[in-house]
Amino acid sequence: MAKYKIVHYINNFFSGAGGEEAAGMRPEVHEGAMGPGLALLEAFGEDYEIAATVVCGDNYFGENLEDATAELLSMIEPFKPDLFIAGPAFNAGRYGVACGTICKAVEKELGIPVLTGMYEENPGVDMFRKDLIVIKTKNSAAGMRKAVPVFKNLGEKLVKGEEILGPDIEGYLERGIRVNYFAEKRGSERAIELLVKKCRGEECPTEYPMPKFDRVEPTAPVTDMAHTKIAIVTSGGIVPQGNPDHIESSSATKYGIYSIAGMERMDKKDFMTVHGGYDRAFVTEDPNLVIPLDVLREMEKEGVIGELADYFITTTGTGTATGNAKAFGEDFVGKLKEDGIGAVILTST
Amino acid sequence: MVKEIERVGIPVVHICTVVPISKTIGANRIVPAIGIPYPLGDPTKSAEQSKKIRRELVERGLKALETPVSEQTVFE
Amino acid sequence: MKLELGKIYIRDVQFAEKTYVKDGTLYVCKEEIEKLVLEDERLTGARVELARPGESVRISPVKDVIEPRVKVEGNGAVFPGVIGKVGQVGEGRTHALVGATVITCGKIVGFQEGVIDMSGPTAKYTPFSQTNNVCVVIEPADGLETHDYEAAGRMAGLKTAVYVAEAAKNLVPDEIVTYETKPLLEQIAQYPDLPKIGYVHMLQSQGLLHDTYYYGVDAKKFIPTIMYPTEIMDGAIVSGNCVAPCDKVTTYHHLNNPVIEDLYQHHGKDLNFVGVILTNENVFLADKERHSDMVAKLAKYLGLDGLLITEEGYGNPDTDLMMNCKKVTQAGVKVVIITDEFPGRDGKSYSLADAVPEADTMVSCGQGNLIVHFPPMDKLIGTMDYVESQIGGYAGCMNEDGSFDAELQIIIASTIANGFNKLAARTY
């Protein structure tokens, strides 16, 4: 039987090239295992081989993220590995970011399972925990011995496509992913038991911790509205008749950009709403209730605002994952910038 | 979406019915709308009146965009 | 109030010349049901089909599910103000055909009707794969307005359930369970040392396809009120809505509300179940504020030590939920919330649209965005024409062989947010 192939990523320090003085080294590829890879190789046993070790200086990686990633990918790809392991980076911040970045890229570009490991306070953890399985390690290389069997166990499961269990059981850092399971008792009974404990002042652990939503500093105000170009964005689910891009009526996974060039108002002949979260009867009759095109056109003529962008951006808000909404935003802000948009009116139902 | 727009430095006003959600997700300039089935306007009134309500809301939105804020602010 | 619920267990359903129950089998007369449903001019077609546990059958798009119940002793009739005359219910004796349901399905009204598979990998997500279902497939008259279609569908289901339940009237129940809640002062005095517990039942009331009725009153038109828990068992609350299928509280789930059922199980042991506060979910912020104020006021007025809150639907009702939780907590009452979650298909986003620090004790009913595979079934009751636009479906999700992929939320009551199921979510 052919052995499963692993490619391993390590930094300048663990390759033996040196510390800070070698941190600028460019990507290199070495056949076989080296440094911490030797311990991994031994643990994985005879069905596995470390086909190659790729090395990059932490500073070079950090200063040339895209180039370093591309170079490394081109070195890894020819080995056709079954598994990619980076680090572990322990508490080395730059190394952690490098491990996370290259793992994410390998998973996306080569479509193979990836694994890395870090100490939980490594800044790379928060950047990548949702995307990757990050094995929990101690804060220094002294923790390697303990980490090795965890790499082996998870690596094997990933290669064989077996189910990965919870973070505490498997030994990786909690990823913040909500996964379904069947509990022993139904929800109402569990809730009542928790409430009785809560009333007694006993510990009553929540099944869903409240998230901490992040915040953005308010931008400076618009100083010259009469010369500002405004764009309309909505989560009200307004789309052209027939919903050409099939935007979902709930839990949207996409958004649309549609023209309003030359239109004086939102005509019900042209637009409809697919929003599944409210009684659509009113908006179906008059889409201006969500996209106030009629009054914005007036204001444009009156010179109250400079100009209205000749399109609007739209999606369905109800049940739409915050991650998706964020991704939509990140995706379309480039266009807003490019088109010289000076202010946005975002409407929600 | 609001935050991603604001993050790149474009002022944005969120005109919405459910102000608490807007606050929770982190909009900084918020204008309360009329209601979920008809945020901008009131179709139970005449077309002229509904439009007038819409115009007032948009004007309030523009005013919010022109107002310096240092924290989440609801423009009632 | 004291209610005896006589349970007649149904293990099979068959067609027959007339409708009756014998030896645990429910026999139904197809023609009589079809005739009854077609009395409504708004409907031009009605077809009755049966679906039993383990069969290779798919039912879609499902509108409502109802357990047949009939009043045997005591005041009023089942579904008061909707089918029966308005009149106080919740006392005396009621018979239920446990293990049987009436399911309404047919052409969608909106996007929000769901799927039930009687067998296969997705059957475990819905309680109705385990029941013997009398399915009424309805056809609306041409050009019937959506609000009217919803009402016609709702009435068709309730009328059929009442018709079927007549068969239970003169039977000797297999089991009788007695539920009793006394007037407030007496109830508190009965178990003076146990914590006084209430239940805030939030009724979906947001408009078309999102309405619920209490004694026939549209829930968006009432202000928060107090209910004896036994009233709900006689059909005081009727579902007139299809929020996302997964967390739709069907009329069946009102009749069999798990929070009320389990609170009675604990009643007198480790808690004193005092009563239910009914409130609604509103589309105007002022209503949300006013009604959550009132919920907190009632909780305090009843002298509660703790209460449970459940909501129906997701998105902006999460705000009603959080407002209720915050204000009740601030009134000095301990709160546990039961909810389902929508963190995206990858499970990585926030699960609820709103959050307050007071919501520190929550029970999860699972995440509804997970994609699941529905294999082909031998028989379809209803139509699959709308799967791609039903909530949970998406463009291209349907395959030629009749199989499809969709988010878990397309399955009726899969993540129902009142804790009826064992499905839950945890963080990986």
Residue of chain C minimizing CA distance to B19: C285
Q: Is the pLDDT of residue B63 over 80?
A: yes
**Domain boundaries defined on chain C:** 2-410
Query: The tokens of C44 are what?
Result: 């031009």
- Helix, strand and coil content of chain B, in percent to the nearest 5, comes to 45, 15, 40
What local confidence, expressed as pLDDT, does residue A1 receive? 64
Whether B5 and A281 lie within 8 Å, measured CB to CB? no
Whether B35 and C353 lie within 8 Å, measured CB to CB? no
Whether B24 and A213 lie within 8 Å, measured CB to CB? yes
Whether A194 and C336 lie within 8 Å, measured CB to CB? yes
Residue (of C252, C249, C263, C299) closest to C278 by Cα position = C299
Residue (of C414, C389, C342) closest to C116 by Cα position = C414
Whether C323 and B35 lie within 8 Å, measured CB to CB? no
pLDDT tens digits along C255-309:
999 999 999 999 999 999 999 999 999 989 999 999 999 999 999 999 999 999 9
User: How many beta carbons lie within 10 A of that of residue A292, not counting itself?
Assistant: 28
- Give backbone dihedrals phi and psi of C79, rounded to 5 degrees, phi first: 55, 55
Quote the CA–CA distance of A237 and A234 in Å, as a whole number: 7
pTM over 0.80, yes/no = yes
Q: Which of C29, C242, C325, C397 is catalytic?
A: C242
Residue of chain B minimizing CA distance to A222: B66
Least confident of A304-313, C33-42, C312-321: C312-321
Q: A136 has which bridge partners?
A: A118
Task: Say yes or no: C357 contacts chain B, CB-CB below 8 A.
Answer: no
Q: For each of chain A's 349 residues, which pLDDT tens digit applies?
A: 689 999 999 999 999 998 888 989 999 999 999 999 999 999 999 999 999 999 999 999 988 989 999 999 999 999 999 999 999 999 998 999 999 999 999 999 999 999 999 999 888 998 899 999 999 999 999 999 999 999 999 999 999 999 999 999 999 999 989 999 999 999 999 999 999 999 999 999 999 988 777 778 899 999 999 999 999 999 999 999 999 999 988 888 999 999 999 999 999 999 999 887 777 889 999 999 999 999 999 999 999 999 999 999 999 887 788 888 889 999 999 999 999 999 999 999 8
Residues 6+ apart with CB under 8 A from A24: A57, A59, A60
- Give backbone dihedrals phi and psi of C215, rounded to 5 degrees, phi first: 50, 35
- Please name the member of B16, B54, B67 whose beta carbon is closest to the beta carbon of A288: B54
Task: Say yes or no: C273 contacts chain A, CB-CB below 8 A.
Answer: no
Quote the mean pLDDT of chain C.
95
- Please name the member of B24, B32, B37 whose beta carbon is closest to the beta carbon of C354: B24
C365 is catalytic: no
Chains with ≥3 CB–CB distances under 8 Å to B: A, C
Please name each of the domains of chain A with its CATH number.
4-170 (3.40.50.2300), 225-347 (no CATH)
In this structure, are residues A23 and A60 in contact, taking their beta carbons and an 8 Å threshold?
yes
Q: A10 has which bridge partners?
A: A55
Task: Say yes or no: C288 contacts chain B, CB-CB below 8 A.
Answer: yes
Q: A333 has which bridge partners?
A: none
Quote the CA–CA distance of C321 and B20 in Å, as a whole number: 11
Task: Say yes or no: A220 contacts chain C, CB-CB below 8 A.
Answer: no
Whether B20 and C354 lie within 8 Å, measured CB to CB? yes
Q: Is the pLDDT of residue C10 over 90?
A: yes
Contacts of A277 in chain B (CB under 8 A): 36
Whether B18 and C323 lie within 8 Å, measured CB to CB? no
Q: Is the pLDDT of residue C12 over 90?
A: yes
Task: Say yes or no: C184 contacts chain B, CB-CB below 8 A.
Answer: no
